[in-house]
Amino acid sequence: MSDNPGSPAIQTRGLTRRFGDLVAVDHLDLSVPRGQVYGFLGPNGCGKSTTIRMLCGLLLPSDGDIRVLDLDIPRQAETLKQHIGYMTQSFSLYRDLSVRENLEFVARLFGLSRARRRQRLDELFQTYRLEALSEQLAGTLSGGQRQRLALAAAVLNEPELLFLDEPTSAVDPQSRRDFWDVLFGLADSGTTLLVSTHYMDEAERCHRLAILQQGELVAEGSPDQLKQRMEAVSLLVETDRPRRAQHALDGLEGVRSCAQIGATLRVLVDDEAALAPVRQRVRTVDPDAGVNVTDVNLEDVFVAATLARARHGEAQ
């Protein structure tokens, strides 16, 4: 659709949405490259879904500018609808219609001819392994099967841009892996994908990430870039008494967070100067405990970024 393929698929400046006194999205600046999987990472209630609805033209912004596929939103939202797909967080198709009837209905909404509908449905049945389910009622499908059907409906019009709002929240790990294989296939074919998630392993799969907290953008970049930029240090505590060690670290200066991972503790500290005090405190409950600097992971980045935002808010 775009006459300028080098322009971002999505660009916002100062995007804001208020609900009364609540600021759900706060002056958000985004630039999403074409043909990539771009992730929205953040806790529930951080503004991910609200932002997606504004980008789709389904919700009016309170302030700010939006351009999606070189269209001004919301002014050109009707034009945009023909070029995007949207898979919502909850299953939104008709449960009392069959798989085929649901896809036929969506195809008619997009105005596909009878011949094109038949061709497109045949393609989707094969790609998303829906042939054997075509006459089954959507309400009787498993979580993974519903997910495949919802994605097939979202890409029926072969969109340039696909929005997916926490699309794997109700499926098993194998279905999630299969789903992401399909997403990368779409990206390889030139589709831009914006995926909201709160799963760290899914965030790792994205080409770029925006971390949101209380409606604000607190970090942005590729997963590797975010790890390299993190202004904190991760420590791994190996001990036979992880709960006691965790309690021993409560209130220690320089310790930002402490989480038990199996039989170990993952401790986020301000800098390496905190290593010696942490080691000393842990060894008061377990003299044989190992405390060492470890590689940063994306969960560390998320915790560091969101804690920094919370501290900033408290300071104000």
Per-residue pLDDT tens over the stretch 204-222: 999 999 999 999 999 999 9
Tokens 């039989």: give the residue.
Answer: 263
Band of residue 310 on the pLDDT scale cut at 50, 70, 90: low
The 290-293 sheet, strands edge to edge: 255-261, 264-269, 233-238, 290-293
Rg (alpha carbons) of the chain, rounded to whole number: 23
Produce one character per residue of 106-119: b if its CB has 16 or more CB atoms within 10 Å, e if not: bbeeeebeeeebee
DSSP symbol at 47: S
CB atoms within 10 A of CB 220: 17
The confidence score (pLDDT) of residue 172 equals 81
Stretch (H or E) spanning 32: strand 22-32
The CB density around residue 72, as the number of other CB atoms within 10 Å, is 13
For the chain, which residues make up each domain, given as ranges? 10-227, 231-295
| 231-295 has the same fold as 10-227 | no
Q: Are 25 and 45 in contact (CB under 8 A)?
A: no
Q: Is the pLDDT of residue 103 over 80?
A: yes
The backbone torsions φ and ψ at residue 6, rounded to the nearest 5 degrees and listed phi first, read: -85, -10
Q: Which CATH class is domain 231-295?
A: alpha beta
Beta-carbon count within 10 A of 288 CB: 9
pLDDT (mean) for 2-21: 88
Q: At what angle do helices 99-109 and 114-127 cross, to 10 degrees?
A: 130
pTM: 0.89
Average of per-residue pLDDT across 179-199: 93
Cα dist from 7 to 34, 46, 200, 281, whole Å: 8, 27, 29, 53
| CA atoms 10, 12, 18, 23: torsion sign | positive
- Interatomic CA distance for residues 68 and 78, integer angstroms: 12
**Residue-level pLDDT at 87:** 93
The terminus-to-terminus CA distance of the chain in angstroms comes to 45
d(CA 199, CA 280): 34
Q: Name the band, by pLDDT with cuts 50, 70 and 90, for residue 163.
A: very high
CATH superfamily of 10-227: P-loop containing nucleotide triphosphate hydrolases (3.40.50.300)
- CB-based burial label for 73 (10 Å; 0-12, 13-18, 19+): buried
Length of the chain in residues, anyone? 316
**Helix (H) or strand (E) run with residue 228 in it:** helix 223-229
Per residue in 243-281, pLDDT tens? Answer: 999 999 999 999 999 999 988 999 999 999 999 999 999
Percent of the chain with pLDDT over 90: 82
Q: Are 264 and 237 within 8 A, CB to CB?
A: yes
Q: Which of 59-68, 120-129, 168-177, 228-237 has the lowest mean pLDDT?
A: 168-177
Q: Where are the alpha helices (DSSP H) in 136-205?
A: 143-154, 173-188, 200-205
Please give the pLDDT value at position 120: 96
| Residue 310 CB neighbour total at 10 angstroms | 13
Residues above pLDDT 70, as percent of the chain: 96
Q: Which residue has the tokens 């905190």?
A: 274
pLDDT of res. 316: 47
